[in-house]
Amino acid sequence: MKPYQQILILECGEPLVPIPLERFAVESPHPYQKLGATYQERSAYHLRQNVLHCLLQAQVKLQQHYPNWRIQIFDAYRPVAVQQFMVDYTFAQVVTAAGLTQSKLTPAQRKSIWEQVYQIWAVPSLDPRTPPPHSTGGAVDITLVDDTGNPVNMGSAIDELSPASHPDYFNNSDKPVEQQYNFHRQLLWDVMLYAGFQRHPGEWWHFCLGDQMWAYLTNQADPTKSVMARYGSIA
């Protein structure tokens, strides 16, 4: 169990609503659907109502500085079944990259690979007390696109299993190109923080509002607070 999963959830019943895709930049088809993930009858491009409202606020803030830039939504609501698919897919990718064979992994190798996978992926838990953040509709993976419609270079890819995924990875670099990556990450963080979001400590692209991680990070930032999560898992 990760620390944020100890936060109590008091489900507020706020609906999951479709994201108006014309307001943002999106990938089509959805990145995980291209890999074979199935979302059943519900599109991946959904969020809790207030989370969507705040995401729109963040984009307004962004456009005050860069009028023709937009937030690009990589992933939003994610059923637990899709979480399981992506965890298994990532495990297989790590095995292949290491030149190994799943059926021949030793217990130590298997344990090491799972530790790598769970650095960025939440456990696909069906326990209502420990839902994966994206399965609550309160988490969103995003980046930025510039005024030409091209993705802004953040220095690493979304879902990349590497130290460069850490938001502050380029903080102290003296290389101009890496300083630019850091500037872009900070810009994204600034507009999302303005709108009330918290950012995953290990992922520059993952932002949350209303879920357990958001509550935990809010409490960590201000120990005088005792915020609870208001979004639980949506089947």
Write down the domain spans for the chain: 3-77+136-221
22 is catalytic: no
Give the tens place of pLDDT for each residue, 119-172. Answer: 999 999 999 999 999 999 999 999 999 999 999 999 999 999 999 999 999 999
- Residue count (the chain): 235
Q: Which H or E element spans position 35? A: helix 31-35
Q: Please measure the distance between the N-terminal and C-terminal CA atoms of the chain and give it in whole angstroms.
A: 21
Alpha carbon separation from 60 to 5, 56, 169, 235 (Å, rounded): 32, 6, 27, 31
How many C-beta atoms lie closer than 10 Å to residue 218's C-beta? Answer: 18
Per-residue pLDDT, 106: 96
Specify whether the backbone of 56 is left (phi greater than 0), alpha (psi in -120 to 50) or beta.
Answer: alpha
Work out the pLDDT band at 40, boundaries 50, 70, 90: confident
- Mean pLDDT, the chain, whole residue set: 96
Per-residue pLDDT, 39: 86
Query: Per CATH, is 3-77+136-221 categorized as 3.30.1380.10?
Result: yes
Per-residue pLDDT, 211: 98
* CA dihedral for 20, 24, 27, 30, sign (positive or negative): negative
Catalytic option among 11, 14, 22, 203: 203
Work out the pLDDT band at 42, boundaries 50, 70, 90: confident
